[in-house]
Structure formats: C-alpha cells, structure tokens
C-alpha cells in the first residue's frame, strides 16, 4: 500500500512513529494530519491518493514573512521592516486552474498541483485554527508592533469562492482585525463579494496585474491558455466598488510586464475614476514560470509609475494632464515643479501602496536589495537617489513587441 493510500484511509488523529525515507532518522510522533502538512511543506511531489483533508478552509498557506511573525519559522526582517499584514493563500490539492505566464502557480508550469511558492517566496501550509490562535495571542500581548490586517488571497479553483468566504468568516470572528479579500472576478460575482463583506471583509483586492488588454490577453487570457477575461476584470472592479464603497477596492498592478508607462498610468486613472486605488508591484521573474527569463523593469520606469500613481490617487493630477515621450515614458506629471518637489521630498509615493497596514516587505526584490516599495518612509540620501532614478530614461528593453518575441521563443520550446 502506498503512503498516499495509507494517509487516505487512516483516521486523521491516528498517531504514527515517523522515520525518514532511509529509516535512519526518527522524525518523531505525528498524527496523519501533521504528516500530510509535513509532506506538503517539504516535498513538491504529490502522493497519488491523498484525500482532500488539508485544504481550505481548514488549512491555508501562509507567506514566509507571516510564518516568521507567527512563530512557525525563524528569520529576521531587514531594517526591522516588520510586516503589519498577515498574508494567507487558499490551498486546494488540485491547485490553480489558470495559466498566468508570470506566475509560479500556473497550471502549465507547476510540477505538482500543490505549489509552494508565489512571488518567489515559500508559502507553508498551516492549520487555520492554529493561525488564528497564534494571531490572537500576538494581539492580546499588548505589543504595538503587531499585525493590523489579515489578507486572504484566492486562487482560480472551483471551490475557492466558498472557501474564501469561510476563511474570512473564521478569521474575522476569531481575530476581529480588518480583513482584505484578494479575489479574481473570473470566479467571484457581485453576490459573492457581498458574501465576503457579510463575512467580515472590509476591503477587496483585485489582481488585474496587467496594465492593458493586449498584455492581459497575452499573459493571462486566451493567448496564454488562461481562463481570465479583461472585460470581466473591469466589470469586477465596478462591482467591487458598488459592494464595498469607493476607496475600499484596490487593484494590483505589476509594472514591467511589457506595458508602456503610459498604459500603466492610463489604467491607474481608469481604476481611480471607477473608485478603486492602485497597489503597485515591480515585476520580478519567478523561477519556474514562463516569464522566468523576462527582464525586470528599470528602476526609473517603476519610480515614474509610482509617482504618477500617487498623484492620481491623491487627486493632485490626472492621466490627461501628464505628458509622455515617443516610447510612452512619463516626461511631465501634470503638476507644477513646486508641487512635484514637495511630493518627492515627502517620500510617500515610494512606500508600499496597499490596503492600510499592508507593507509587503520585499515582495519585489531580494531582502539584500534596495526596496522598490519602501516598507518605511525613505528619507535623506534615499530621496536623493530616488530623484536621480526618476530622471533616468533608458530605452525600454521590455516592451510589448519584445514580450511577444520572448513568448514565441519560450512557449514554442
């Protein structure tokens, strides 16, 4: 009998004496449930026959940073950039059904239905009840340096809607701190958004990721063998704002997927006019994804989009007032020099944009690198450097035509 079939058949609470594969190292006593999570967290291989015992809503994946905060694993945060948001991800044994070409969870690239990494970090599987208990302990400790938000991210799976609502309900009932639901409008309809709100979500995140329809089509839509539709995402943003209210929906936008700066700014304005803010990410190639060999955006490109986002979301400027050069780079932000200087000096455009409390440290770069999204307010020398970066214009190496060439080469092989 294989290990998988044994786990499928055995009672979850049954205790086992577990050895390593050579029977030389005693791993200790574990229940069947603990053995399953151990396997999920340590091996990508899925044993045939495992039943869906450790899936959402009872189990969730926890980002590495949150895993450290909750005391499951050890680690330090560079410059003490403590994460104020606990990021959770739904988990199903049959994985994500979509095929976004920049994502390590895409159906076509995961070596197994259970994928352990997303935005380049591991997401260990944990029991939701235990996560809530640890979080509660932290909150009751009276420490001010503690999580202030929980974010529950969905994947594209037919069971995701029900599980997302249930995880949000348990988290909100159990912990009572602000909770965000990061969803895909491909699965979540307006009534589902209402259910999320009733369950306790006070904000919605919609990861549209791509700045324009042509990029979306190539990387997430039919061009990529995916399930997502650009039109449905735009409709989903409107529905989200209708359900949650203006300013309580954020779109995730990844800079550097082949769009021009102008396309990114145009989408930020569109979302703002619909009542949603934009939360920015800088593309970083994920190992094992189709886009693992695609270039990172130059920091100048990212800084200019950050600047434009801040000015639009704070109502200081609009896309129509800005100017762009022949390759779509921002050359004028539609505000006076004085206002621009004041805004740069404040450092605010360059800190992480997100739901209140979500500082996502190092989601865009290695911890040893200078942050693209600062998890604190940059000052002094950092501002001087940002000023230089804003003025650095390099010929784009990551435009739409080059993206199509890259995809033709890499999808064919």
Give me the residue label for tokens 């159906």: 107
Of all residues in this chain, which one has the CB nearest to ligand SF4 in the complex?
A: 205
355 forms part of the interface with ligand SF4 (CB under 6 A): yes
- Nearer to ligand SF4 by Cβ, of 101 and 182: the residue is 182
Structure tokens at 55: 């899936």
184 forms part of the interface with ligand SF4 (CB under 6 A): no
Smallest gap from Cβ 171 to ligand SF4, in A, equals: 12
Smallest gap from Cβ 254 to ligand SF4, in A, equals: 12
- Nearer to ligand SF4 by Cβ, of 50 and 234: the residue is 234
Smallest gap from Cβ 66 to ligand SF4, in A, equals: 11
247-276 positions binding ligand SF4, by CB under 6 A = 250, 252
The size of the chain, in residues, is: 413
- Nearer to ligand SF4 by Cβ, of 124 and 354: the residue is 354
274-303 positions binding ligand SF4, by CB under 6 A = 279
Piece of the chain touching ligand SF4 by CB under 6 A; list 88-96, 165-173, 302-310, 354-362: 354-362
Q: Do the Cβ atoms of 327 and 357 come closer than 8 Å?
A: no
Return the H-helix or E-strand segment holding 16.
Answer: strand 15-19
205 forms part of the interface with ligand SF4 (CB under 6 A): yes
Piece of the chain touching ligand SF4 by CB under 6 A; list 98-106, 219-227, 313-321, 353-361: 353-361
Piece of the chain touching ligand SF4 by CB under 6 A; list 261-269, 299-307, 355-363, 382-390: 355-363
124 forms part of the interface with ligand SF4 (CB under 6 A): no
Give the torsion sign (CA, 184, 190, 194, 199). Answer: negative
- Using CB under 6 A, which of 118, 182, 218, 322 touches ligand SF4? 182
Smallest gap from Cβ 14 to ligand SF4, in A, equals: 37
- Nearer to ligand SF4 by Cβ, of 172 and 406: the residue is 172
Cβ within 8 Å of residue 139, ≥6 positions away = 146, 147, 175, 177
Residue 161-180 contact track with ligand SF4, rule CB under 6 A, x = bound: -------------------x
- Using CB under 6 A, which of 60, 253, 358, 386 touches ligand SF4? 358
Name which of 207, 220, 289, 255 is nearest 364 in CA terms.
Answer: 255
State the residues that interact with ligand SF4 by CB under 6 A. 85, 149, 151, 180, 182, 205, 250, 252, 279, 354-355, 358, 360
């Amino acid at each position: 009998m294989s290990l998988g079939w044994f786990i499928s058949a055995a009672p979850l609470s049954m205790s086992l004496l577990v050895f390593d594969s050579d029977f030389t190292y005693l791993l200790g006593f574990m229940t069947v449930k603990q053995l399953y999570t151990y396997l999920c967290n340590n091996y990508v291989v899925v044993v045939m026959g495992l039943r869906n015992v450790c899936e959402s809503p009872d189990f969730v994946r926890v980002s590495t940073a949150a895993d450290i905060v909750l005391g499951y694993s050890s680690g330090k945060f560079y410059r003490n950039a403590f994460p104020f948001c606990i990021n959770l991800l739904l988990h199903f044994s049959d994985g994500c059904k979509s095929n976004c070409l920049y994502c390590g969870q895409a159906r076509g690239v995961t070596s197994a239905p259970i994928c352990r990494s997303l935005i380049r970090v591991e997401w260990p599987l944990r029991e939701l009840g235990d996560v809530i208990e640890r979080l509660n302990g932290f909150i009751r400790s009276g420490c001010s340096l503690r999580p202030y938000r929980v974010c529950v991210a969905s994947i594209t799976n037919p069971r995701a809607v029900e599980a997302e609502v249930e995880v949000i309900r348990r988290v909100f009932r159990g912990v009572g701190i602000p909770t965000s639901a990061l969803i895909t409008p491909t699965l979540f309809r307006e009534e589902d958004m209402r259910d999320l709100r009733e369950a306790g979500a006070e904000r919605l995140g919609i990861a549209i990721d791509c700045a324009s329809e042509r990029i979306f089509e190539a990387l997430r839509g039919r061009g990529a063998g995916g399930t997502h539709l650009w039109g449905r995402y735009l409709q989903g943003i409107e529905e989200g704002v209708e359900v949650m209210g203006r300013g309580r929906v954020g779109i995730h936008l990844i800079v550097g997927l082949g769009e021009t700066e102008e396309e990114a700014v145009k989408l930020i304005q569109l979302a703002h006019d619909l009542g949603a803010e934009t939360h920015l990410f800088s593309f970083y190639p994920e190992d094992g994804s189709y886009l693992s060999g695609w270039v990172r955006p130059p920091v100048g490109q990212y800084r200019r989009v950050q600047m434009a986002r801040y000015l639009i979301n704070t109502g200081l400027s609009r896309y129509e007032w800005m100017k762009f050069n022949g390759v779509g780079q921002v050359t004028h932000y539609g505000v006076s020099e004085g206002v621009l200087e004041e805004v740069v000096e404040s450092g605010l455009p360059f800190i992480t944009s997100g739901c209140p409390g979500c500082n996502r440290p190092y989601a865009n770069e290695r911890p040893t690198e200078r942050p693209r999204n600062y998890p604190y307010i940059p000052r002094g020398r950092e501002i001087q450097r940002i000023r230089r970066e804003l003025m650095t214009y390099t010929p784009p190496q990551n435009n739409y035509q080059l993206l199509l060439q890259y995809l033709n080469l890499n999808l064919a092989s």
